[in-house]
Amino acid sequence: MTLETSIQNKINTWLTGNYDTDTKHEIQKLIDTHAATELIDAFYKDLEFGTGGLRGIMGAGSNRINKYTIGTATQGLCNFLKAKYPTQKIKVAIAHDSRNQSDFIARTTAEVFSANDIYVYFFKALRPTPLLSFAVRELGCQSGVVITASHNPKEYNGYKAYAEDGGQFVAPDDKAVMDEVGKISNINDVNFNTIEDNIELIGEDIDKLYLDKMASLSVSPDAIKNQHDLKIVFSPIHGTGITLVPKALEMFGFTNVILVNEQIIPDGNFPTVIYPNPEEKEALTLALKKAQETNADLVLATDPDADRVGIAVKNLNGDFELLNGNQTGSLLVNYMLSAWEKEGKFTGNEYIVKTIVTSYLIDKIAEAKKVTCYNTLTGFKFIGQIMTELQGKKTFIVGGEESYGYLVGDFVRDKDAVVSCAFIAEMTAFYKNQGSSLYEALIDMYLEYGFYKEKLVSITKKGKTGAEEIVAMMERFRNNPPASLGGAKVITLKDYTLQKETNLLTGQVTDIELPKSDVLQFITEDGSIISARPSGTEPKIKFYCSVNTVLASKNAFAETEQRLEEKIGNIMEDLAV
């Protein structure tokens, strides 16, 4: 078995270096069984921070999540923090989700921080990602880490690093952290010598502070009081949502929360689902079954680290239907802005934030309400960045992204499924109190602002070869953009790598005032927007299709939806992917 020299050298380093016996045995077993593909994938590169931090398959190797890659990342982060805060006593907070090895990896992270004389607030049991963001801010930390791979399959784990504002690192600090990690060329440079006095366990006290602040944001307490027995089915899908979502719903005043018992025990094997992703209908199978049995009003399901939430509501036929992230986000924005408008709370200084691949229905709603809507690159860290920049200057109401992540209030700097569950339930109670439903509210929103339909198509390309295919695909679109999509001429190309917007009719080029990112957007003459983007956390290339038209009446809803669905299908055919 012959491997590239660089890969073989890394393997040799791990076999002869200061790594534990189990790790060396795992590598040697791959060598003995001539598992070339596995060895290449495990060693062809070092894990890097993407839009969601460090994420990968657990196992031995430089491109895997293990004690040593986590230790290296933490040592690099320590070195960065010491350079950035040379005169301060540095503090960090650490949390973890329910994944296999998450507690061990979190403990390893805490040990390296402590060994570097950095004080650690360590959640003594699993907690949602948004609580970590809250803790960083509340405890005056300079950084934080949560061990999670979000909604990825059970083989994965990850490491999300946070800055002192409670948001994930952004430029230039993200690059500076990566540079510090890259400087560590020998595992002996990582300090694993724990100082236990530098580690403090935290838990329920932080929970209470967070829940109290969240409850203070409620905008329709009277509706909840009238509809307190709203039937809400909730599933944490074996993750951290069980620790706080039921408490949050109770604090808001809901008294009839029905748990999916088969999925309330945290379990990193996610035994009842194929993929612990609330974006997928399969992951909500048991929750939907429970909802049908109990004639529930609302289904809520959170991913393993409880920063994303999927929902289902009854459609016009009385059947449960899953709403996508754009629909839920648009409803939430419309609800919050309408509530603020009704209460006369607008001062002209309010704003919301979304990403460039999230429904532009949200922009239209914000425009109608005379509220500023900022668009950011994909990744909630960019939403958090704007919130931090505008803190004390403008008032943040709500924000979100199409990948089922939303935020209400400004005491967290990441997507938050706990606060989102509470407000989605409140929103449902509000409309029920008016004799309506969330689904009917969706249609009413389309009638007022236009029928926007979005669809995400993801194509998986695994390993080194897959990564190369994704690069080639993006170059093909960049150099030869499609002339038309879905029967409509493409009139604008936005290239966020080049930071240029080109009018394909006139050739006029203007600058894009956002950081560089490997995203292409095609805009057609009829207002369709198609975005192509390699994932920063998974071996995928993603295509976001958004089409829209006027909805003439409620009776025309089904026919109009079908037309838009067919148009999306035609667009994907034209892309030939």
In this prediction, residues 514-526 reach a mean pLDDT of 96
Gap between the Cα atoms of 396 and 359, Å rounded: 19
Q: Quote the radius of gyration of the chain (alpha carbons, Å).
A: 24
Q: Where are the alpha helices (DSSP H) in 58-194?
A: 67-84, 102-115, 129-138, 173-182
Position 477, amino acid: F
pLDDT tens digits for range 26-49:
999 999 999 999 999 999 998 876
CA distance 401 to 396: 15
| pLDDT tens-digit map of 320-359 | 999 999 999 999 999 999 999 999 999 999 999 999 999 9
From CA 118, how far away is CA 472, in angstroms rounded? Answer: 43
Q: How high is the pLDDT of residue 511? A: 97
Helix (H) or strand (E) holding 476: helix 463-479
pLDDT at 537 over 70: no
- In the 8-state DSSP scheme, what is residue 58? B
Instruction: Name which of 490, 501, 481, 550 is nearest 525 in CA terms.
Output: 490
Q: How far apart are CA 308 and CA 203, in angstroms?
A: 21
Q: Mapping DSSP to helix (H, G, I), strand (E, B) and coil, where does residue 156 land? A: strand
Report pLDDT digits (tens) over 262-308. 999 999 999 999 999 999 999 999 999 999 999 999 999 999 999 99
Show the tokens assigned to 172.
């230039």
Residue 269's identity, in one-letter code, is N
Active site residues: 150
Q: Phi and psi (nearest 5°) for 163?
A: -90, 180
Domains and their CATH numbers in the chain: 45-202 (3.40.120.10), 210-449 (3.40.120.10), 452-575 (3.30.310)
Q: How far is CA 551 from CA 146, 333, 534, in A?
A: 43, 20, 33
Q: 427: how many CB neighbours lie within 10 A of its CB?
A: 23
Give percent above pLDDT 90 in the chain: 92
Look at residue 347 and give its three-state secondary structure: coil
Average pLDDT over residues 399-421: 98
Nearby residues of 230 by Cβ (< 8 Å), 6 or more positions away: 254, 256, 297, 298, 425, 428, 429, 432
In the sheet that holds 372-376, the strands lie side by side as: 372-376, 350-355, 395-401, 405-408
Mapped onto helix, strand or coil, the DSSP state of residue 222 is helix
For 380, the token pair is: 């909630």
- What pLDDT does residue 201 have? 98
- Count of residues in the chain: 577
Q: Assign 67 a pLDDT band (cuts: 50, 70, 90).
A: very high
Q: At what angle do helices 361-368 and 325-342 cross, to 10 degrees?
A: 10
The tokens describing 175, both together, are 């690059």
Q: Is 218 left (phi over 0), alpha (psi -120 to 50) or beta?
A: beta
- At 61, the pLDDT band (50, 70, 90 cuts) reads very high
What tokens appear for 160 in the block? 């999300």
- Report the predicted TM-score, pTM, of the whole model to 2 decimal places: 0.95
Using left for φ > 0, alpha for ψ between -120 and 50, and beta otherwise, residue 117 falls in left
Task: Determine the residue type at 323.
Answer: L
Given a cut of 80, whether residue 50 has pLDDT beyond it is no
CA distance 40 to 522: 36
Does the pLDDT at position 445 exceed 90?
A: yes
